[in-house]
Amino acid sequence: MVLNAKTIFPGLLFAGMVAMAAQFLSDHYGAPVMLMAILLGIPFQFLSTEERTAPGIGFASRMVLRVGVALLGVRVSVDMVAEIGFANVALVASGVALTIALGLIMAPLFGRDRAFGFLTGGAVAICGASAAMAIASLLPKGENTERDVTFTVVSVTLASTVAMIAYPILISYLGMDSQSAGVFLGGTIHDVAQVVGAGYSVSDETGDISTLVKLFRVGMLAPVVFIGTLFLRQSGKGAEGVPLVPGFVIGFLVLAGLNSFGWLPAWAIQSADTVSRACLVTAVAAVGMKTSFEDLRSVGKSAPIMILILTAALAGYVLLGQQLLT
Protein backbone atom coordinates (compact mmCIF):
# COMPACT_ATOMS: atom_id res chain seq x y z
CA MET A 1 0.00 0.00 0.00
CA VAL A 2 1.27 3.47 -0.94
CA LEU A 3 1.46 5.70 2.11
CA ASN A 4 -0.02 9.17 1.76
CA ALA A 5 -1.85 11.60 4.02
CA LYS A 6 -5.20 9.94 3.28
CA THR A 7 -4.06 6.42 4.16
CA ILE A 8 -2.10 7.29 7.31
CA PHE A 9 -4.49 9.85 8.79
CA PRO A 10 -7.07 7.50 10.43
CA GLY A 11 -4.52 5.36 12.29
CA LEU A 12 -2.32 8.33 13.16
CA LEU A 13 -5.39 10.13 14.52
CA PHE A 14 -6.25 7.20 16.81
CA ALA A 15 -2.65 6.96 18.06
CA GLY A 16 -2.68 10.70 18.73
CA MET A 17 -5.93 10.45 20.67
CA VAL A 18 -4.52 7.67 22.86
CA ALA A 19 -1.41 9.81 23.42
CA MET A 20 -3.53 12.80 24.46
CA ALA A 21 -5.49 10.65 26.90
CA ALA A 22 -2.22 9.40 28.40
CA GLN A 23 -0.92 12.97 28.71
CA PHE A 24 -4.15 14.01 30.43
CA LEU A 25 -3.78 11.25 33.02
CA SER A 26 -0.14 12.22 33.54
CA ASP A 27 -0.88 15.93 33.94
CA HIS A 28 -3.85 15.50 36.28
CA TYR A 29 -3.02 12.36 38.25
CA GLY A 30 0.78 12.09 38.07
CA ALA A 31 0.75 8.78 36.18
CA PRO A 32 3.85 8.01 34.06
CA VAL A 33 2.85 9.19 30.59
CA MET A 34 4.72 6.47 28.65
CA LEU A 35 3.20 3.72 30.77
CA MET A 36 -0.27 5.18 30.33
CA ALA A 37 0.22 5.53 26.58
CA ILE A 38 1.16 1.91 26.07
CA LEU A 39 -1.47 0.51 28.46
CA LEU A 40 -4.24 2.63 26.93
CA GLY A 41 -3.12 1.56 23.47
CA ILE A 42 -3.24 -2.21 24.07
CA PRO A 43 -7.09 -2.48 24.20
CA PHE A 44 -7.17 -0.96 20.70
CA GLN A 45 -4.93 -3.69 19.26
CA PHE A 46 -7.66 -4.66 16.82
CA LEU A 47 -7.16 -1.33 15.00
CA SER A 48 -3.64 -2.37 13.96
CA THR A 49 -5.16 -5.09 11.77
CA GLU A 50 -7.90 -2.94 10.25
CA GLU A 51 -7.20 -1.91 6.67
CA ARG A 52 -8.12 1.74 7.27
CA THR A 53 -6.12 2.28 10.45
CA ALA A 54 -3.14 -0.10 10.20
CA PRO A 55 -0.98 2.12 7.90
CA GLY A 56 -1.27 5.13 10.20
CA ILE A 57 -0.51 3.12 13.32
CA GLY A 58 2.54 1.66 11.63
CA PHE A 59 3.61 5.15 10.51
CA ALA A 60 3.28 6.44 14.08
CA SER A 61 5.35 3.59 15.51
CA ARG A 62 8.17 4.18 13.00
CA MET A 63 8.39 7.63 11.42
CA VAL A 64 6.83 9.65 14.24
CA LEU A 65 9.18 7.86 16.64
CA ARG A 66 12.24 8.87 14.59
CA VAL A 67 11.16 12.51 14.50
CA GLY A 68 10.73 12.45 18.28
CA VAL A 69 14.15 10.91 18.87
CA ALA A 70 15.85 13.37 16.50
CA LEU A 71 14.30 16.33 18.31
CA LEU A 72 15.73 15.06 21.61
CA GLY A 73 18.97 16.61 20.37
CA VAL A 74 17.83 20.06 21.50
CA ARG A 75 18.25 18.89 25.10
CA VAL A 76 21.93 18.05 24.69
CA SER A 77 25.04 20.23 24.49
CA VAL A 78 28.81 19.87 24.84
CA ASP A 79 28.75 22.23 27.82
CA MET A 80 27.14 19.44 29.85
CA VAL A 81 30.45 17.57 30.01
CA ALA A 82 32.23 20.52 31.62
CA GLU A 83 29.40 21.14 34.08
CA ILE A 84 29.17 17.51 35.19
CA GLY A 85 32.94 17.03 35.50
CA PHE A 86 35.18 14.54 33.72
CA ALA A 87 35.18 11.96 36.52
CA ASN A 88 31.40 11.87 36.71
CA VAL A 89 31.10 11.80 32.90
CA ALA A 90 33.41 8.79 32.81
CA LEU A 91 31.43 7.09 35.56
CA VAL A 92 28.06 7.61 33.87
CA ALA A 93 29.34 6.71 30.39
CA SER A 94 30.99 3.53 31.63
CA GLY A 95 27.79 2.67 33.50
CA VAL A 96 25.83 2.92 30.23
CA ALA A 97 28.34 0.74 28.38
CA LEU A 98 28.54 -1.90 31.10
CA THR A 99 24.75 -2.10 31.47
CA ILE A 100 24.32 -2.74 27.75
CA ALA A 101 27.14 -5.30 27.82
CA LEU A 102 25.50 -7.02 30.80
CA GLY A 103 22.21 -7.20 28.90
CA LEU A 104 23.95 -8.86 25.96
CA ILE A 105 25.70 -11.35 28.27
CA MET A 106 22.60 -12.17 30.31
CA ALA A 107 20.20 -12.67 27.41
CA PRO A 108 21.38 -16.19 26.37
CA LEU A 109 21.56 -17.23 30.02
CA PHE A 110 17.86 -16.40 30.38
CA GLY A 111 16.86 -18.05 27.13
CA ARG A 112 16.56 -14.79 25.19
CA ASP A 113 18.37 -13.69 22.05
CA ARG A 114 21.00 -10.95 22.11
CA ALA A 115 18.64 -8.54 20.34
CA PHE A 116 16.43 -8.63 23.43
CA GLY A 117 19.52 -8.12 25.60
CA PHE A 118 20.48 -5.04 23.55
CA LEU A 119 16.92 -3.71 23.74
CA THR A 120 16.55 -4.07 27.51
CA GLY A 121 20.13 -3.11 28.30
CA GLY A 122 19.88 0.03 26.19
CA ALA A 123 16.52 1.01 27.68
CA VAL A 124 17.83 0.66 31.26
CA ALA A 125 21.18 2.28 30.46
CA ILE A 126 20.09 5.36 28.52
CA CYS A 127 16.60 6.82 28.69
CA GLY A 128 13.93 4.20 29.17
CA ALA A 129 11.09 4.14 26.66
CA SER A 130 12.73 6.54 24.19
CA ALA A 131 15.87 4.41 23.98
CA ALA A 132 13.85 1.21 23.70
CA MET A 133 11.92 2.60 20.75
CA ALA A 134 15.05 3.92 19.01
CA ILE A 135 16.94 0.64 19.44
CA ALA A 136 13.92 -1.39 18.33
CA SER A 137 13.94 0.46 15.00
CA LEU A 138 17.32 -1.18 14.26
CA LEU A 139 16.54 -4.73 15.27
CA PRO A 140 15.42 -7.50 12.93
CA LYS A 141 11.64 -7.63 12.70
CA GLY A 142 10.24 -10.89 14.04
CA GLU A 143 6.86 -12.08 15.21
CA ASN A 144 7.66 -11.08 18.80
CA THR A 145 9.31 -7.71 18.13
CA GLU A 146 6.33 -5.52 19.06
CA ARG A 147 5.66 -7.67 22.13
CA ASP A 148 9.24 -7.31 23.35
CA VAL A 149 9.23 -3.54 22.81
CA THR A 150 5.94 -3.15 24.66
CA PHE A 151 7.10 -5.31 27.52
CA THR A 152 10.37 -3.38 27.80
CA VAL A 153 8.63 0.01 27.79
CA VAL A 154 6.19 -1.10 30.50
CA SER A 155 8.90 -2.68 32.64
CA VAL A 156 11.45 0.13 32.51
CA THR A 157 8.74 2.71 33.18
CA LEU A 158 7.53 0.80 36.23
CA ALA A 159 11.12 0.32 37.45
CA SER A 160 11.81 4.01 36.90
CA THR A 161 8.72 5.00 38.90
CA VAL A 162 9.74 2.76 41.80
CA ALA A 163 13.27 4.20 41.66
CA MET A 164 11.88 7.74 41.75
CA ILE A 165 10.34 6.92 45.13
CA ALA A 166 12.99 4.61 46.59
CA TYR A 167 16.25 6.27 45.56
CA PRO A 168 15.70 9.59 47.41
CA ILE A 169 15.09 7.54 50.57
CA LEU A 170 18.34 5.67 49.93
CA ILE A 171 20.17 8.97 49.41
CA SER A 172 18.90 10.31 52.71
CA TYR A 173 19.92 7.12 54.50
CA LEU A 174 23.45 7.26 53.05
CA GLY A 175 23.81 10.98 53.77
CA MET A 176 24.94 11.83 50.23
CA ASP A 177 25.67 15.47 49.37
CA SER A 178 23.83 17.28 46.56
CA GLN A 179 26.51 16.64 43.95
CA SER A 180 26.78 12.91 44.61
CA ALA A 181 23.01 12.53 44.95
CA GLY A 182 22.40 14.33 41.66
CA VAL A 183 24.89 12.18 39.77
CA PHE A 184 23.41 9.01 41.29
CA LEU A 185 19.81 9.89 40.42
CA GLY A 186 20.62 11.18 36.94
CA GLY A 187 22.92 8.25 36.24
CA THR A 188 20.53 5.47 37.27
CA ILE A 189 16.84 6.35 36.86
CA HIS A 190 15.56 5.44 33.41
CA ASP A 191 13.12 8.16 32.32
CA VAL A 192 13.75 11.92 32.30
CA ALA A 193 10.47 12.77 34.04
CA GLN A 194 11.21 10.45 36.95
CA VAL A 195 14.75 11.85 37.27
CA VAL A 196 13.32 15.35 37.55
CA GLY A 197 10.75 14.20 40.11
CA ALA A 198 13.32 12.39 42.25
CA GLY A 199 16.00 15.09 42.02
CA TYR A 200 13.86 18.05 42.99
CA SER A 201 12.22 16.07 45.78
CA VAL A 202 15.67 16.06 47.45
CA SER A 203 16.71 19.69 46.76
CA ASP A 204 16.86 22.24 43.97
CA GLU A 205 20.61 21.73 43.56
CA THR A 206 20.23 17.97 43.40
CA GLY A 207 17.44 18.38 40.85
CA ASP A 208 19.59 20.60 38.62
CA ILE A 209 22.55 18.20 38.71
CA SER A 210 20.45 15.05 38.22
CA THR A 211 18.66 16.56 35.22
CA LEU A 212 21.98 17.58 33.65
CA VAL A 213 23.44 14.09 34.14
CA LYS A 214 20.30 12.50 32.73
CA LEU A 215 20.48 14.64 29.61
CA PHE A 216 24.08 13.54 29.15
CA ARG A 217 22.82 9.93 29.19
CA VAL A 218 20.21 10.91 26.59
CA GLY A 219 23.10 12.22 24.47
CA MET A 220 24.66 8.76 24.51
CA LEU A 221 21.71 7.43 22.50
CA ALA A 222 23.34 8.56 19.24
CA PRO A 223 26.66 6.68 19.62
CA VAL A 224 24.89 3.60 21.00
CA VAL A 225 22.56 3.47 17.99
CA PHE A 226 25.51 3.94 15.63
CA ILE A 227 27.56 1.17 17.27
CA GLY A 228 24.50 -1.08 17.42
CA THR A 229 23.82 -0.58 13.71
CA LEU A 230 27.45 -1.34 12.88
CA PHE A 231 27.46 -4.49 15.03
CA LEU A 232 24.17 -5.78 13.60
CA ARG A 233 25.41 -5.26 10.05
CA GLN A 234 28.63 -7.12 10.69
CA SER A 235 26.83 -9.97 12.40
CA GLY A 236 24.29 -10.22 9.58
CA LYS A 237 21.41 -10.39 12.06
CA GLY A 238 19.58 -7.19 11.28
CA ALA A 239 19.70 -3.53 10.33
CA GLU A 240 20.06 -4.44 6.63
CA GLY A 241 17.62 -1.72 5.64
CA VAL A 242 18.95 0.79 8.15
CA PRO A 243 21.71 3.24 7.10
CA LEU A 244 24.97 3.03 9.03
CA VAL A 245 24.08 6.41 10.52
CA PRO A 246 20.26 6.50 10.59
CA GLY A 247 18.62 9.79 9.63
CA PHE A 248 17.18 10.36 13.08
CA VAL A 249 20.66 10.05 14.60
CA ILE A 250 22.00 12.64 12.15
CA GLY A 251 19.12 14.93 13.11
CA PHE A 252 19.84 14.35 16.78
CA LEU A 253 23.54 15.22 16.34
CA VAL A 254 22.83 18.30 14.21
CA LEU A 255 20.41 19.72 16.79
CA ALA A 256 22.82 18.90 19.63
CA GLY A 257 25.58 20.70 17.72
CA LEU A 258 23.42 23.77 17.09
CA ASN A 259 22.47 23.83 20.77
CA SER A 260 26.13 23.48 21.80
CA PHE A 261 27.05 26.59 19.77
CA GLY A 262 24.10 28.51 21.21
CA TRP A 263 22.51 28.91 17.78
CA LEU A 264 19.08 27.72 18.89
CA PRO A 265 16.84 30.37 20.50
CA ALA A 266 15.04 29.45 23.70
CA TRP A 267 11.64 29.39 22.00
CA ALA A 268 12.92 26.92 19.38
CA ILE A 269 14.37 24.62 22.04
CA GLN A 270 11.14 24.69 24.04
CA SER A 271 8.99 24.10 20.95
CA ALA A 272 11.17 21.24 19.69
CA ASP A 273 11.17 19.64 23.14
CA THR A 274 7.36 19.81 23.26
CA VAL A 275 7.01 18.31 19.77
CA SER A 276 9.55 15.61 20.64
CA ARG A 277 7.58 14.59 23.71
CA ALA A 278 4.32 14.50 21.73
CA CYS A 279 5.91 12.37 19.00
CA LEU A 280 7.41 9.90 21.45
CA VAL A 281 4.16 9.47 23.41
CA THR A 282 2.26 8.99 20.13
CA ALA A 283 4.80 6.39 18.94
CA VAL A 284 4.61 4.50 22.24
CA ALA A 285 0.80 4.55 22.03
CA ALA A 286 1.03 3.10 18.51
CA VAL A 287 3.32 0.30 19.69
CA GLY A 288 0.80 -0.47 22.42
CA MET A 289 -1.93 -0.62 19.78
CA LYS A 290 0.10 -3.30 17.98
CA THR A 291 0.40 -5.51 21.08
CA SER A 292 -2.10 -7.61 23.01
CA PHE A 293 -2.20 -8.64 26.65
CA GLU A 294 -1.85 -12.23 25.46
CA ASP A 295 1.46 -11.27 23.84
CA LEU A 296 2.69 -9.76 27.10
CA ARG A 297 1.78 -12.86 29.07
CA SER A 298 3.83 -14.97 26.67
CA VAL A 299 7.04 -13.04 27.36
CA GLY A 300 7.83 -15.29 30.33
CA LYS A 301 9.34 -14.71 33.76
CA SER A 302 12.94 -14.37 32.62
CA ALA A 303 12.45 -10.97 30.98
CA PRO A 304 11.31 -9.03 34.09
CA ILE A 305 14.10 -10.64 36.10
CA MET A 306 16.60 -9.44 33.50
CA ILE A 307 15.36 -5.84 33.70
CA LEU A 308 15.38 -5.96 37.51
CA ILE A 309 18.98 -7.22 37.55
CA LEU A 310 20.07 -4.60 35.01
CA THR A 311 18.43 -1.82 37.03
CA ALA A 312 20.04 -2.98 40.27
CA ALA A 313 23.44 -3.45 38.62
CA LEU A 314 23.44 0.08 37.18
CA ALA A 315 22.41 1.56 40.53
CA GLY A 316 25.07 -0.43 42.37
CA TYR A 317 27.80 0.55 39.91
CA VAL A 318 27.05 4.29 40.00
CA LEU A 319 26.59 4.27 43.78
CA LEU A 320 29.92 2.53 44.29
CA GLY A 321 31.59 4.93 41.89
CA GLN A 322 30.17 7.92 43.75
CA GLN A 323 31.44 6.57 47.05
CA LEU A 324 34.92 6.16 45.56
CA LEU A 325 34.90 9.66 44.07
CA THR A 326 33.92 11.39 47.32
Judge whether residue 241 has pLDDT over 80.
no
pLDDT tens per residue across span 61-110: 889 988 988 898 898 888 887 888 889 999 999 999 999 999 999 999 99
Q: Is the pLDDT of residue 239 over 60?
A: no
Q: Is the pLDDT of residue 235 over 70?
A: no
Cα separation values, 64 from 16, 28, 47, Å: 11, 25, 18
Q: Which of 111, 110, 131, 109 is nearest to 120 (CA)?
A: 131
Using alpha carbons only, give the angle 303, 305, 309 rounded to the nearest 5 degrees: 120
Give backbone dihedrals phi and psi of 109, rounded to 5 degrees, phi first.
-65, -25
Residue 25: which of 14, 36, 40 has the closest Cα?
36
* Residue 39's pLDDT band (cuts 50, 70, 90): confident
Q: Tell me what pLDDT residue 123 has.
A: 93
Q: Which of 22, 12, 303, 20 is nearest to 147 (CA)?
A: 303
- Under a CB-based contact definition with an 8 Å cutoff, are residues 187 and 217 in contact? yes
The one-letter amino acid code at 248 reads F
Query: What whole-number percentage of the chain has pLDDT above 90?
Result: 43
134-153 burial by CB neighbour count: b if 16+ within 10 A, else e? bbbbbbeeeebbbbbbbbbb
> pLDDT grade, residue 231 (50/70/90)?
confident
How far apart CA 93 and CA 216 sit, in angstroms, is 9
* pTM for this predicted structure: 0.85
DSSP string for 156-172: HHHHHHHHHHHHHHHHH
pLDDT at 88 (0 to 100):
92
| Residue 281 burial by Cβ neighbours in a 10 Å radius (0-12, 13-18, 19+) | buried
Q: Going by C-beta distance under 8 Å and a sequence separation of 6 or more, which residues neighbour residue 243? A: 229
Q: What is the pLDDT of residues 99-152, one digit of tens each?
A: 999 999 999 999 898 889 999 999 999 988 888 988 988 887 776 778 888 888
Return the DSSP state at 105: H
Q: How many residues does the chain have?
A: 326
172: which residues sit within 8 A by CB, 6+ positions away?
202
